[in-house]
Chain A
Amino acid sequence: MGGMDSIIAEFLAESFENLDLLDQDLVSLEKNPDDPEVFGRIFRTIHTIKGTCGFLAFQKLEAVAHVGESLLARLRDGSLSLRPEMTTDLLSMIDAVRTILGNIDRTGNEGPDEYTDLVARLQGFEASADSGATSKKQGNESSSKKQTSTAKKPASKTGVKKGSPRGSKKNSKTTTRKSTPAATPKEPSDSGSPDEVDTLELTSVPAAAESNIRVDVRVLDHLMNLVGELVLARNQLVQRIAEGSDDRLSASSQRLDSITGELQEAVMRTRMQPISTIWQKLPRFVRDLAHKFEKEVEIEMEGEETDLDKSVIEAIKGSLLHLVRNAVDHGIELPDVRESQGKPRTGTLRLRAHHEGGNVVIEVRDDGRGLDHDAILKRAIDAGLVDLDESEGLKPREIESFLFQPGFSTAATVTNISGRGVGLDVVRANVESLGGSIDLQSEAGRSTTFRLKIPLTLAIVSVLLSSAGKHRIAIPQASVVELVRPDGSGTDLGIEDLNGVPVYRLRGNLLPLVSLNRELDIPATEPANSTVNIVVLQGDDRRFGLIVDSIEDSQEIVVKPLGHMLAGVPFAGATILGDGQIALILDVFRLGLAAGVVSESRAHSIASQISSAVEERPHSERLVALQGRGDERMAIDFETVTRLEHFPREAIEWVGRRQVVQYGESILQLVDLQGVLPERRQRARESVASLDDQTVPVVVCTVNGRLIGLMAHRILDIVEEGLKARKSSSREGVRACAVIQGRVTEILDLEQIVRLSDPDFFDRETEGT
Chain B
Amino acid sequence: MAMQFCTFHVGELLLGIEVAQIQEVLRDTKVTPVPKTPAAVSGLINLRGQIVTAVDLRTLFGLDGEQNTDGGSVMLIVDSDAELHSLAVDSVGDVVEVEENDYEDPPDTLKGESRKLIRGAYKLKNGLLLLLDGEYAMQAATAGSS
Q: Are A563 and B49 in contact (CB under 8 A)?
A: no
Q: Does A565 contact B (CB under 8 A)?
A: yes
Q: Are A570 and B36 in contact (CB under 8 A)?
A: yes
With an 8 Å Cβ cutoff, the count of chain B residues facing the other chain is 25
**How far apart sit A502 and B37, CA to CA, in the bound complex (Å)?**
26
* Least CB distance, A264 to chain B, in whole angstroms: 12
Q: Are A584 and B53 in contact (CB under 8 A)?
A: no
Q: Are B36 and A576 in contact (CB under 8 A)?
A: no
CB contacts (< 8 Å) of B131 on chain A: these are none
Q: Are B142 and A225 in contact (CB under 8 A)?
A: no
Q: Does A244 contact B (CB under 8 A)?
A: no
Q: Does B125 contact A (CB under 8 A)?
A: no
Contact residue among B46, B48, B85 (Cβ-Cβ distance under 8 Å from A563): B85
Q: Are B49 and A566 in contact (CB under 8 A)?
A: no
Q: Are A522 and B49 in contact (CB under 8 A)?
A: no
**How far apart sit A232 and B47, CA to CA, in the bound complex (Å)?**
13
Interface-lining segment among B12-20, B27-35, B104-112: B27-35
**How far apart sit A571 and B41, CA to CA, in the bound complex (Å)?**
15
- Mask, A562-597, CB within 8 Å of B = 1, is 111111111100101000111010000000000000
Q: Does A478 contact B (CB under 8 A)?
A: no
Q: Does B101 contact A (CB under 8 A)?
A: no
Q: Are A520 and B37 in contact (CB under 8 A)?
A: no
Q: Are B46 and A520 in contact (CB under 8 A)?
A: no
**How far apart sit A574 and B44, CA to CA, in the bound complex (Å)?**
9
Q: Does B83 contact A (CB under 8 A)?
A: yes
* Least CB distance, A585 to chain B, in whole angstroms: 11
Known A-B contacts A521-B36, A576-B46; the reply to A582 vs B51 at CB < 8 A is: yes
**How far apart sit A225 and B55, CA to CA, in the bound complex (Å)?**
23
Q: Are A568 and B49 in contact (CB under 8 A)?
A: no
Q: Which of B37, B44, B138 has the most CB of A within 10 A?
A: B44
CB contacts (< 8 Å) of B50 on chain A: these are 225, 560
Q: Are B37 and A569 in contact (CB under 8 A)?
A: yes
CB contacts (< 8 Å) of A232 on chain B: these are 49
CB contacts (< 8 Å) of B55 on chain A: these are 565
Contact residue among B32, B35, B51, B146 (Cβ-Cβ distance under 8 Å from A561): B51
CB contacts (< 8 Å) of B37 on chain A: these are 566, 568-569
CB contacts (< 8 Å) of B36 on chain A: these are 520-521, 568-570
* Least CB distance, A140 to chain B, in whole angstroms: 60
Q: Which residue of A lies closest to B53 (CB)?
A: A563
Q: Which residue of B lies closest to A520 (CB)?
A: B35
A-B contact count (CB 8 A): 72
Q: Are B44 and A582 in contact (CB under 8 A)?
A: yes
Q: Does B141 contact A (CB under 8 A)?
A: yes
Known A-B contacts A560-B51, A574-B51, A576-B46; the reply to A584 vs B34 at CB < 8 A is: yes
* Least CB distance, B27 to chain A, in whole angstroms: 16
Known A-B contacts A582-B44, A582-B46; the reply to A562 vs B53 at CB < 8 A is: yes
* Least CB distance, A762 to chain B, in whole angstroms: 52
* Least CB distance, A104 to chain B, in whole angstroms: 25
Known A-B contacts A563-B85, A564-B83, A565-B142; the reply to A471 vs B49 at CB < 8 A is: no
> Which chain A residues numbered 442 to 463 have a C-beta less than 8 Å away from chain B?
none
Q: Are A576 and B51 in contact (CB under 8 A)?
A: yes
Q: Does B52 contact A (CB under 8 A)?
A: yes
**How far apart sit A567 and B37, CA to CA, in the bound complex (Å)?**
9
**How far apart sit A34 and B42, CA to CA, in the bound complex (Å)?**
69
* Least CB distance, A475 to chain B, in whole angstroms: 14
Q: Are B44 and A522 in contact (CB under 8 A)?
A: no
Q: Which residue of A lies closest to B82 (CB)?
A: A218
CB contacts (< 8 Å) of A521 on chain B: these are 35-36
* Least CB distance, A474 to chain B, in whole angstroms: 12
Q: Are B51 and A562 in contact (CB under 8 A)?
A: yes
**How far apart sit A584 and B37, CA to CA, in the bound complex (Å)?**
13
**How far apart sit A66 and B33, CA to CA, in the bound complex (Å)?**
62
- Mask, A511-535, CB within 8 Å of B = 1, is 0000000001110000000000000
* Least CB distance, B23 to chain A, in whole angstroms: 14
Q: Does A226 contact B (CB under 8 A)?
A: yes
- Mask, B48-75, CB within 8 Å of A = 1, is 1111110100000000000000000000
**How far apart sit A229 and B51, CA to CA, in the bound complex (Å)?**
12
Interface size class of A (residues with CB under 8 A): 20 to 34
Q: Are A569 and B34 in contact (CB under 8 A)?
A: yes
Q: Are A225 and B33 in contact (CB under 8 A)?
A: no
CB contacts (< 8 Å) of A520 on chain B: these are 35-36
**How far apart sit A566 and B142, CA to CA, in the bound complex (Å)?**
7
Q: Does A228 contact B (CB under 8 A)?
A: yes
Q: Are A565 and B34 in contact (CB under 8 A)?
A: no
* Least CB distance, B117 to chain A, in whole angstroms: 16
CB contacts (< 8 Å) of B51 on chain A: these are 560-563, 574, 576, 582
Q: Which residue of B lies closest to A516 (CB)?
A: B35
**How far apart sit A568 and B142, CA to CA, in the bound complex (Å)?**
9
Q: Which residue of B lies closest to A569 (CB)?
A: B36
Q: Are B49 and A576 in contact (CB under 8 A)?
A: yes
* Least CB distance, B48 to chain A, in whole angstroms: 5
**How far apart sit A470 and B35, CA to CA, in the bound complex (Å)?**
10
Q: Are A565 and B48 in contact (CB under 8 A)?
A: no
Q: Which residue of A lies closest to B142 (CB)?
A: A565
Q: Are B34 and A563 in contact (CB under 8 A)?
A: no
CB contacts (< 8 Å) of A561 on chain B: these are 51
Q: Are B53 and A565 in contact (CB under 8 A)?
A: yes
Contact residue among B30, B34, B45, B48 (Cβ-Cβ distance under 8 Å from A226): B48
CB contacts (< 8 Å) of A570 on chain B: these are 36
**How far apart sit A436 and B77, CA to CA, in the bound complex (Å)?**
37
CB contacts (< 8 Å) of B32 on chain A: these are 471, 581-582, 584
* Least CB distance, B20 to chain A, in whole angstroms: 21
CB contacts (< 8 Å) of A571 on chain B: these are 34
* Least CB distance, A412 to chain B, in whole angstroms: 43
* Least CB distance, A221 to chain B, in whole angstroms: 10
* Least CB distance, B128 to chain A, in whole angstroms: 29
Q: Are A566 and B53 in contact (CB under 8 A)?
A: yes
Contact residue among B35, B83, B85 (Cβ-Cβ distance under 8 Å from A471): B35
**How far apart sit A562 and B36, CA to CA, in the bound complex (Å)?**
14
Q: Which residue of A lies closest to B139 (CB)?
A: A565
Q: Which residue of A lies closest to B31 (CB)?
A: A582
Q: Are B41 and A566 in contact (CB under 8 A)?
A: yes
> Which chain A residues numbered 221 to 264 have a C-beta less than 8 Å away from chain B?
225-226, 228-229, 232
CB contacts (< 8 Å) of A574 on chain B: these are 44, 51
> Which chain A residues numbered 245 to 285 have a C-beta less than 8 Å away from chain B?
none
CB contacts (< 8 Å) of B141 on chain A: these are 565
Q: Which residue of B lies closest to A218 (CB)?
A: B82
Contact residue among A225, A522, A582, A584 (Cβ-Cβ distance under 8 Å from B48): A225
Contact residue among A471, A522, A565 (Cβ-Cβ distance under 8 Å from B41): A565
* Least CB distance, A233 to chain B, in whole angstroms: 10
**How far apart sit A563 and B34, CA to CA, in the bound complex (Å)?**
12
**How far apart sit A468 and B35, CA to CA, in the bound complex (Å)?**
10
CB contacts (< 8 Å) of A566 on chain B: these are 34, 37, 41, 53
CB contacts (< 8 Å) of A229 on chain B: these are 48-49
Q: What are 23 A-B pairs at a CB distance below 8 A?
A: A226-B48, A468-B35, A471-B35, A520-B36, A521-B35, A522-B35, A560-B50, A561-B51, A562-B44, A562-B53, A563-B52, A563-B83, A563-B85, A565-B41, A567-B142, A568-B37, A569-B34, A569-B36, A570-B36, A576-B49, A581-B32, A582-B44, A582-B46
Q: What are the nearest 10 A-B pairs in CB distance? A: A520-B35, A225-B49, A582-B32, A563-B53, A229-B49, A565-B142, A560-B51, A228-B49, A565-B53, A574-B51
Q: A522-B35, A568-B37, A581-B46 are in contact. List 5 more A-B contacts (CB 8 A).
A: A563-B84, A565-B141, A566-B41, A576-B49, A584-B32
Interface residues of A (CB under 8 A from B): 225-226, 228-229, 232, 468, 470-471, 520-522, 560-571, 574, 576, 580-582, 584
